[in-house]
Structure 1
């Protein structure tokens, strides 16, 4: 009897309404595909009913139950169903593995059976948890491409590994295309490859640890580099500001020297102007007296006055020497230009040293390239995993 709440017209294996229903000798009904999949996993010569466990030998032949098939067809037309409507979240979306037993809109598969080569939703998975014969099947997380586990030529499970061609084959392939080849079970080859995988993973974990250590060292170095760069930049600003202040002081000093010299020269020139003006006045007065003397008609008076002018202090005074000052200023400008050239040359020379030191500050690239990493794995005996 069907369990409470279960569709009485459903297969006890897939829990869905019968598709191509067949009746086995004990009277129970199943989908032809479901009971065939169950019996394919049974020991040879003994085939049992998943519900009542009654055994049959030899394997019963299966024929479509036309009465039940017509009944299922009428129910489908009349949209008769006793199953609950699943929530929208249970339906398969693009990228999800669909349930192979659902009709209409497919539900998302939860697990896949490696024996049935089918994926099942939560509802259709239940028989594999309840039926003793189905509990022996290997269940894995739902995955696509289960048909790749079947030989495309013989439609048999890929249970053998050909060591010559490095591929999975079925038992019939060992007597056909791969006859005479060295073979082993897929489980044995898996155990062998598992060791290579573990060895390769060990290499990966070692490289991960080394890479993470290098990464942390690089981050620490970059942090230290940033700190030192900021400190050096601040020191550079301080040095150049001090140089600017130093040269500002020297410029002020030269300006004060020139201003002081100009002031002193002005004072000296004023004294000379006064002296020259006084000399000019005395000479003009003497010249006027001499002009008057030239017109004197009294000869004795002329002779007496002549001796007075002949010994005049104005005639004996030394003339004031006025030197050209432009040459001295030209020499001063040349000295300042020479100072600039000397400082620029010294600064350029030292800046070359500074630039060379800055260029020496770099972080060397020591991280291995991906090709080097794979090469190291291949040299470690794990080349099979990287062969394309």
Structure 2
């Protein structure tokens, strides 16, 4: 029997009505085989008794008999299929919670590989094989395994939902399309699926654009917050600087006021002490005379009495204290004068702030012709012949070591110095990722490692990593700039203690050091920094000032 079943294809064991392996196969008079239950239900629901395959009509309902041979072959086929399923089940995975199980498996339900929309059944790898080999089953629509396949059947006609009514925007079966949706625009599910999928693709693209816009907006907002934070830090630093100066001024004026008042009080106390001391001395003398007078008045020695009487008769010489008094000092106007001086200090501070905010055009009138001093240049710096450009070189040059030369960092000073008045110069920083600019006092440390700060004699700003700007104050102040300066202007007002930096092209203030204490010569300070693998090879260029 096994050999006989092997001569038949698996397709020949399938009922053409249920498309599954025969169950109780019977043969019609025309010679075709069907499941007993399938052919009986077919004839029960049809007016005519015709063969579903050859369409032969029978006048009376034929009597059906079990096809014994085919039944045995089907049984053998089922056993072989079961054995095959059993042998392969060890290689396949049992369905886990949440996964779709095979509807055909008995015992342990294996994980379904596909679901058939025609059979409304989910199949594991073994039970799916007929759908992959049998010609009629190959026409069935297979999808990834899903649960509740019954939901894909029309509840009214018990037929697969394989069409879509565009008029009512709903899925329908074949009978629905010719009965309830006869005049509607009905298309196959696949056609509508492709159209809707294209729409969904557009929707997804639009959503992605919306996401990108919102992500950009988030970045923009975060950048605004960063700018705000940097501006806030800068303003706080400037505010602390200004108000610290004002606080120190207030404390200084208060101390002067208290000292003035206390000095007047000390003077008054000293005067009173002197008067009291003098009065106590006179009292002591008077008490002594009183004792002598009293003693003489009790004397019985007439001669002694008369001899001493002239010297004791008159009171001892004393000061006339009638007009003497200690008058409290007058403090009227002391506080008023102190407040007036404080107002004057505040007015000067306000004038400094106004000057700080001035545009570059005003300070350009103080332009000076700055050139680089080769005697101060670090050994790897390359200076142009006209002394207007400096860049970093990779070759160590044997240069004379003199007290003026920087020997540890890539720095160089300008030849021109300032010990009074104002001066201004401009430096091109285009195409550079790192640089330092500003002014330095003459006595700076040029031989060792020194932090750039006002305490060490440097008033500078710098750029690092192409976008990190900082004012080298104490502590350093991060700078938030709307655009990268291509040309930086440096302005110094010696008497006012002011060093300001400007974005020349944007005509905008970058940063100002205020209330600086200058006591010696100041020199322009430059550092092109290292090449950083060629990324920072562009030079710093001292430019002529175009007023």
TM-score, length-scaled by structure 1: 0.55
CA displacement 1:63-83 (0-9 Å, x = unmatched) = 87789989999xx9xxx9562
Question: What is the 5 A alignment of 1:1-388?
Answer: 20=23, 22=25, 57-58=54-55, 81=83, 83-84=86-87, 86-87=89-90, 90-176=93-179, 178=180, 180-187=182-189, 188-229=191-232, 245-280=248-283, 314=318, 317=320, 319-323=322-326, 325=328, 335=335
TM-superposed CA distance for 1:105, in Å, is 2.5
Instruction: Compare 189-198 and 150-159 and name the one that shifted more.
Output: 189-198
Distance 2:231 2:66 in 1: 85
Counterpart contact for 1:22–1:30, Cα < 8 Å:
yes
Structure 1's 135 and 174: CA in aligned 2 closer, same or farther, altered over 3 A?
Answer: closer
RMSD over aligned CA atoms reads 5.7
Structure 1's 19 and 258: CA in aligned 2 closer, same or farther, altered over 3 A?
Answer: farther
TM-superposed CA distance for 1:132, in Å, is 2.9
Structure 1's 193 and 208: CA in aligned 2 closer, same or farther, altered over 3 A?
Answer: same
Please state which structure has a larger fraction of its residues in helix. Answer: 1
Distance 1:65 1:251 in 2: 123
SS of residue in 1 equivalent to 2:89? coil
Counterpart contact for 1:286–1:309, Cα < 8 Å:
no
Counterpart contact for 2:164–2:192, Cα < 8 Å:
yes
Counterpart contact for 1:164–1:181, Cα < 8 Å:
no
Structure 1's 223 and 134: CA in aligned 2 closer, same or farther, altered over 3 A?
Answer: farther
CA displacement 1:73-107 (0-9 Å, x = unmatched) = 9xx9xxx9562263497111222112122122211
Structure 1's 232 and 192: CA in aligned 2 closer, same or farther, altered over 3 A?
Answer: same
Distance 1:72 1:137 in 2: 23
Distance 1:219 1:281 in 2: 88
TM-superposed CA distance for 1:20, in Å, is 3.1
Structure 1's 184 and 318: CA in aligned 2 closer, same or farther, altered over 3 A?
Answer: same
Structure 1's 323 and 11: CA in aligned 2 closer, same or farther, altered over 3 A?
Answer: farther
Distance 2:226 2:198 in 1: 42
Distance 2:170 2:22 in 1: 35
Counterpart contact for 1:110–1:142, Cα < 8 Å:
yes
Structure 1's 208 and 179: CA in aligned 2 closer, same or farther, altered over 3 A?
Answer: closer
TM-score, length-scaled by structure 2: 0.42
Unpaired runs of 5+ residues, structure 2, are 15-19, 40-49, 347-547
Distance 1:13 1:269 in 2: 138
Structure 1's 66 and 13: CA in aligned 2 closer, same or farther, altered over 3 A?
Answer: closer
Structure 1's 159 and 152: CA in aligned 2 closer, same or farther, altered over 3 A?
Answer: same
Structure 1's 86 and 159: CA in aligned 2 closer, same or farther, altered over 3 A?
Answer: closer
SS of residue in 1 equivalent to 2:186? strand
Unpaired runs of 5+ residues, structure 1, are 36-44, 48-55, 347-388
Counterpart contact for 2:102–2:122, Cα < 8 Å:
yes
Q: Which residue of 2 aligns with 1:369?
A: none
TM-superposed CA distance for 1:292, in Å, is 11
Q: Which residue of 1 aligns with 2:413?
A: none
Instruction: Compare 157-166 and 89-98 and name the one that shifted more.
Output: 157-166
SS of residue in 1 equivalent to 2:271? helix
Question: Of the two, which has the highest radius of gyration?
Answer: 1
CA displacement 1:8-27 (0-9 Å, x = unmatched) = 9x976999x96835367999
Counterpart contact for 1:111–1:120, Cα < 8 Å:
yes
TM-superposed CA distance for 1:34, in Å, is 11
Distance 1:64 1:320 in 2: 156
Counterpart contact for 1:128–1:135, Cα < 8 Å:
yes
Counterpart contact for 1:149–1:157, Cα < 8 Å:
yes
Residues paired across the two proteins, number: 309
Counterpart contact for 2:25–2:34, Cα < 8 Å:
yes
Distance 2:165 2:171 in 1: 6
Q: Which residue of 1 aligns with 2:477?
A: none
Counterpart contact for 1:115–1:137, Cα < 8 Å:
yes
Counterpart contact for 2:152–2:160, Cα < 8 Å:
yes
Counterpart contact for 1:163–1:181, Cα < 8 Å:
no
